[in-house]
Amino acid sequence: METLYLLIPLASLVGALGAGTTVASVREIGHRWAIPGVAVSFLLSLVVLADVLAGHTFNGAVYTWGAIGGLELEVGLLIDRLTAVMMAVVTFVSLAVHVYTIGYMHGDPGYNRFFAYIAGFTFFMLMLVMANNFLVLFFGWEGVGLVSYLLIGFWYTRESAIAASLKAFLVNRLGDIGFVLGLGAIYATLGTLAYEPVFARAGELASSTIAVLPGMPWSVASFAAIALFVGAMAKSAQIPLHVWLPDSMEGPTPISALIHAATMVTAGVFMLARLSPLYEQSLAALSLVLVVGALTALALGLVALVQHDIKRVIAYSTISQLGYMVVAMGISAYAAGIFHLMTHAFFKALLFLAAGSAIHAVADEQDMRRMGGLARHMPVTHWTFLIGALALCGIWPFAGYYSKDTIIEAAALSAIPGAGFAYWATLIGVGITAVYTFRMYFLTFHGPERMDAETRAHLHESARVITWPLVVLAVPSLLAGFFLLEPVVFGGYFGSSLFVAEGRDVLGELAHHHGGWGQYLPLALALAGVGLAYYLYMVRRDLPARLAAASGPAYSALVAKLGFDRLFEGWLAGAGRGLGRALWRGGDEHLIDGLAVNGTAGRVAAAAARLRGIQSGYVYHYAFSMLIGVFALVSWFFLA
């Protein structure tokens, strides 16, 4: 089976290399490499999932890259139930996006290059989830970061795309500082980077201390868990390191779906679940994870209410839903968090791809205020988008209802500090989600057609290569929750893949208390939010503008994205540029060039100019100089 395990990521890598090295004169055949490669990865992932369900797992090295002292640098794989389900979800969504891309990117001069990038993205994500040590995890972690930079800035002639790709790259590098510090603390304490010994000796990390500040010792477990969470905050777009993700909408829609659904942004959530034995050693780390996730779920959902770009609404929705997943990790409901990751992958990819279909139909316009009435012209796109919207809002019986409701109910039962705040934040977030989701739905697909006459005349349903992936993704968006809730969340599907400390098994407690009025409160809020959106955007279309004017500073704060972009771009980036200019002017130009390099050359030139004055060419001048020299030597001889 080891060969089969290796074939899963390598098939996608071969597809990426084949698409990337396609002869330039051959047009638009990159999909002939990338799609078969990802399809092989998907089919083999299903084989592995069935094999794992039959009780077969694997944990071992497949290649030793090198050794430094006592550190073995190994390419190792861990195939267990958590890995198997992640592999299946990643490759399924990726394959749907690849097929969709054939129609969406048709005619783009970077067609083959795009397929090379997205297949490579799949390879790195598979390496991340299949890793059995922190080294391979970090390889996949950095790989998805690199390819996301290339994809966000894919249309490199746009200045906004270049700025967005740099922003994503730099914010993720901030998170990587914490990630590397966490790895360093673990290795310094235990002398290994392999998961199995680290998890087995996690108690040693809890009992060991590290002086973060003089006189303030921390347990290594808390320090490492919090430092690694900083990396997860950047990768999974948690407040305040979320600022890169809305700007990533500058990339083509297929990559928006791939980044936001099942790959890069879920990497941080997956890492928290994979490292559950470490996080269970630190109540402080769990509490921090919980509070950050709750803040993200609530605050960024509010920002989505005032966005007009359809892709940015879905982007802020992604950040908010990632907050729900992180809350699940913080209350030790790891299975519920992964379950929401799965369902979210389906319906969020569906929403992005359906939005891309709508954008294509209105001549690449993304402002919802210039759309409207598309349901009459695009029935498949409309109905699949509606399924995704209902799943996102948590309306029964769609997938999001089961996964989101489970997290909220588990938060109500948790005793971890901050759980009360998390419960109310996630509960209120349900109503907010319904309002901004159906605001988007009504503005895009219903009401008057607000596009120009030429665009209106050419409105039509997208090609089948675009609509078929929508239909395929709509099926699990509708059915996944109903069929998978019991086995995945309450049926012990993950087994030993996830670890929960004694006394924190909120899902076990929820299994005995599931039901009652608390189960229906999120659904009631979701339905109320849908009704409010209908009233505001279908019945009283004048009311939203009046409410915005009346809300004053609150509305302005949401439009300003709560000031986080200003914090990073204006203050932090501005301070960095100011420091750079000071070092350039004062250090480089004045000190190095002015005093050291050019100054030295100038002083040598000045001295040489003076010395040239005594080189007159007259013999009597030289004779006179010789007499002075002899006089000086004789004087020195007698005086000495």
Dihedral sign (CA 629, 633, 639, 640): positive
Share of the chain above pLDDT 70, in %: 98
Q: What pLDDT band is residue 65 in, cutting at 50, 70 and 90?
A: confident
pLDDT greater than 70 at residue 515: no
pLDDT at position 640 is 64
Kindly report which listed range (119-133, 336-350, 486-500, 506-520) carries the lowest average pLDDT score.
506-520
433, 395 in Cβ contact below 8 A? Answer: no
The 3-state secondary structure of 176-217, one letter per residue: HHHHHHHHHHHHHHHCCCEHHHHHHCHHHHHHCEEEEECCEE
CA contacts within 13 A on the Cβ side of 341: 34
pLDDT at position 123 is 96
Determine which helix (DSSP H) or strand (DSSP E) holds 303, and give its type and residue range.
helix 283-304
pLDDT greater than 90 at residue 235: yes
Q: What is the pLDDT of residues 558-598, one digit of tens each?
A: 998 888 888 877 777 777 778 888 887 888 878 887 777 77
* C-alpha span between 309 and 59 (Å, rounded): 45
Q: What is the pLDDT of residues 427-480, one digit of tens each?
A: 999 999 999 999 999 999 999 999 988 888 889 999 999 999 999 999 999 999
pLDDT mean over 191-206: 93
Q: What pLDDT band is residue 25 in, cutting at 50, 70 and 90?
A: low
* C-alpha span between 126 and 110 (Å, rounded): 24
pLDDT greater than 70 at residue 395: yes
pLDDT at position 591 is 82
Domains in the chain: boundaries: 158-563, 564-639
pLDDT at position 262 is 67
Share of the chain above pLDDT 90, in %: 69
Q: What pLDDT band is residue 518 in, cutting at 50, 70 and 90?
A: low
342, 409 in Cβ contact below 8 A? Answer: no
- Own/partner pairs, 560-566, CB within 8 angstroms, 24+ separation: 561/243, 561/246, 561/303, 562/299, 562/303, 564/239, 564/240, 564/242, 564/243, 565/243
Average pLDDT, the chain: 90
Dihedral sign (CA 587, 588, 593, 597): positive
pLDDT at position 563 is 87
pLDDT at position 533 is 96
pLDDT greater than 70 at residue 517: no
pLDDT at position 67 is 76
Of 462, 390, 578, the residue nearest 102 (C-alpha) = 462
More confident residue, 284 or 638: 284
pLDDT at position 568 is 79
Q: What is the pLDDT of residues 270-308, one digit of tens each?
A: 999 999 999 999 999 999 999 999 999 999 999 999 999
48, 4 in Cβ contact below 8 A? Answer: yes
